[in-house]
Amino acid sequence: MSLSSLKPQVETILSNSDKTLDERLLSVCQLLDQEVSYYNWVGFYFKNGDKNELKLGPYVGEPTDHTIIPFGKGICGQVAVSNENFIVPDVAAQDNYIACSITVKAEIVVPLFVNGENVGQIDIDSNTPDPFTEEDERFLEYVCEQVAKLLA
């Protein structure tokens, strides 16, 4: 399955104004979790007001204790500072990794920008070693661009 084939479904979910923003984001998480076999935890983090921290938004997967992540801490916290995509092929090799589950082998985090400001990110954990490709990166950038339209 091509990730780009999911784009129309993402657009349909996000354009459903009968649902709240969180309901739409959760539906996107569910779609990605169901349709991409190596996406084992899919969620959004958003900047927590004026604080230099991220707050967990809608997600699908194992429950996490990491509902608040300080900027700079872990992969998500680093992306909040760097404003750049971060692909981790092997989480065991990362010094600044926050373990959510012992089954997680890899992670990808893509920032979400509104008017040039990093306001959040999509975070995906995989139980498969080194599964993420440039196709994943481009697709998740697209998802973030579509979500940003709702936040602008």
**Is 16 or 93 the better-scoring residue by pLDDT?**
16
What ranges do the domains of the chain cover?
3-151
Long-range pairs of 6-10 with CB within 8 A, sequence gap ≥ 24: 6/31, 6/32, 6/35, 6/36, 6/139, 7/139, 7/142, 10/142, 10/143, 10/146
Residues 69-96 have pLDDT tens digits of 999 998 999 999 999 999 999 887 776 6
Contacts of 107 (CB under 8 A, 6+ apart): 75, 86, 87, 88, 91, 97, 123, 124, 125, 126
* Sign of the alpha-carbon dihedral angle for 83, 41, 142, 148: negative
Q: Give me the pLDDT at residue 103, please.
A: 85
Fold exhibited by the domain 3-151: Beta-Lactamase (3.30.450)
Residues 23-59 have pLDDT tens digits of 999 999 999 999 999 999 999 999 999 999 999 999 9
Residue 52: both structure tokens together: 């230099």
Percentage, residues of the chain above pLDDT 70: 95
Q: How does the average pLDDT of the chain come out, rounded? A: 93
* Sign of the alpha-carbon dihedral angle for 111, 101, 72, 50: positive
